[in-house]
């Protein structure tokens, strides 16, 4: 079984790359807005189906549509954020609890709409890269890397680098970091919290929708897929540390490696159990995540 170890590691890295894309926007939104969005999986689902139908209608490589999906869903997120802000700023009720209830209801609504429009059947997004692969061999070890998963990993790392540059090298990033640290002080410095939150939520929704296209090219998609990716996103963000963006890639890759090792060496049915055992153990030692830098 040792001969399968390099393949297990490579598969884990490739899966982890996809998981980075579903969690990094979620982490950014939580770090600034301090809400746990239970609709993240549904944004991914809607983005996946947009990519599917655009590909069916035009027969163009779906990865070319990633910018289109980002802009469209980014605009939807930007326009939708004031509704969430209104819920959070209400005088009655706990803002965190209200956000949880509101986004949970939003997820149910999107899922119902998805089932009504797209049906119950699973499908996949046809991509010219899905059939290709790279093969590496040294000694007795042989590794196969699916091209589409390699592209997904490159995309995830690119998004991570661009987000870090945006947050650390631009005035907008300075405003975002100021809001994440202290909203009142940021407001006194002239930062428009409502507008900045809208941009952040738009970026988060756009990235989540783009990841849905990649997921559709790699795995199957359905109107019921949202709950799975909400759970995975939540696990990664909590393990990395709530709001700690730099920890997301490491937590996502850890999850990918756990899933890969269970698929090859153990019973795949126990993957989620192993994931939550790891999460529980980490939070017992470090409640702020595996790096101790979360909110």
What is the band of 213 on the pLDDT scale with cuts at 50, 70, 90?
A: very high
Task: Determine the average pLDDT of the residues in 153-179.
Answer: 86
pLDDT tens digits, one per residue of 81-116:
888 777 776 666 666 777 778 888 888 999 999 999
Tell me the three state secondary structure of residue 290: coil
Q: Kindly report the number of other CB atoms within 10 A of residue 105's CB atom.
A: 12
Percent of the chain with pLDDT over 90: 17
The C-alpha atoms of residue 174 and residue 53 are separated, in whole angstroms, by: 38
Residue 205: predicted pLDDT: 93
Residue 188: predicted pLDDT: 67
pTM for the structure as a whole: 0.90
For the packed helices 66-88 and 40-58, what is the interaxial angle rounded to 10 degrees?
150
Strand partners, 144: 135
Q: Which of the two residues, 181 and 17, has the higher pLDDT score?
A: 17
Closest CA to 244 of 190, 164, 135: 164
Residue 147: predicted pLDDT: 85
**Alpha helices for the chain (secondary structure H):** 5-33, 40-58, 66-88, 95-118, 147-169, 171-181, 183-188, 193-218, 226-240, 248-265, 271-285
Half-sphere exposure of 48 (CA within 13 A, CB side): 29
pLDDT tens digits, one per residue of 32-59:
777 788 889 999 999 999 999 999 898 8
Task: Determine the average pLDDT of the residues in 201-225.
Answer: 91
Q: Mean pLDDT across the chain, nearest whole number?
A: 84
The C-alpha atoms of residue 145 and residue 17 are separated, in whole angstroms, by: 13
- 19-23, 80-84, 166-170, 262-266 — which is least confidently predicted? 262-266
Is residue 88 within 8 A of residue 35, CB to CB? The reply is yes
Only one residue has tokens 């884990």, namely 12
The C-alpha atoms of residue 202 and residue 195 are separated, in whole angstroms, by: 11
pLDDT tens digits, one per residue of 119-143:
888 888 888 877 777 777 776 777 7
Cα–Cα separations (whole angstroms), residue 27 to 145, 166, 203, 235, 291? 28, 15, 11, 11, 14
What is the band of 295 on the pLDDT scale with cuts at 50, 70, 90?
A: low
Six token digits for residue 151? 């592209």
The C-alpha atoms of residue 214 and residue 291 are separated, in whole angstroms, by: 28
pLDDT at 18 over 90: no
What is the band of 211 on the pLDDT scale with cuts at 50, 70, 90?
A: very high
Please spell the DSSP secondary structure of 24-42, one letter per residue.
HHHHHHHHHH----TTHHH
């Amino acid at each position: 079984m040792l001969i399968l170890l390099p393949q297990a590691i490579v598969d884990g890295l490739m899966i982890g790359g996809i998981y980075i894309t579903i969690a990094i926007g979620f982490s950014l939104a939580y770090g600034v807005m301090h809400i746990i969005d239970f609709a993240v999986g549904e944004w991914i689902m809607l983005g996946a189906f947009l990519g599917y139908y655009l590909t069916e209608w035009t027969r163009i490589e779906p990865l070319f549509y990633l910018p289109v999906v980002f802009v469209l869903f980014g605009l939807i997120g930007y326009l939708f954020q004031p509704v969430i802000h209104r819920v959070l700023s209400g005088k009655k009720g706990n803002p965190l609890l209200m956000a949880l209830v509101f986004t949970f209801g939003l997820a149910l609504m999107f899922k119902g709409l998805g089932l009504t429009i797209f049906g119950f059947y699973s499908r996949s997004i046809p991509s010219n890269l899905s059939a290709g692969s790279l093969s590496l061999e040294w000694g007795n070890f042989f590794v196969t890397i699916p091209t589409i998963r390699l592209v997904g990993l490159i995309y995830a790392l690119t998004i991570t680098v661009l987000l870090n540059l945006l947050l650390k090298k631009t005035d907008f990033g300075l405003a975002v970091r100021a809001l994440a640290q202290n909203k009142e002080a940021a407001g006194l410095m002239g930062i428009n919290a409502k507008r900045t939150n809208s941009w952040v939520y738009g970026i988060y929704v756009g990235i989540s929708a783009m990841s849905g296209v990649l997921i559709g090219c790699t795995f199957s998609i359905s109107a019921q897929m949202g709950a799975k990716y909400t759970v995975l996103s939540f696990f990664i963000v909590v393990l990395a540390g709530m709001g700690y963006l730099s920890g997301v890639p490491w937590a996502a890759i850890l999850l990918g490696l756990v899933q890969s090792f269970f698929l090859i060496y153990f019973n795949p049915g126990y993957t989620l159990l192993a994931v939550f055992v790891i999460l529980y153990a980490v939070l017992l030692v470090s409640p702020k995540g595996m790096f101790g830098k979360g909110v």
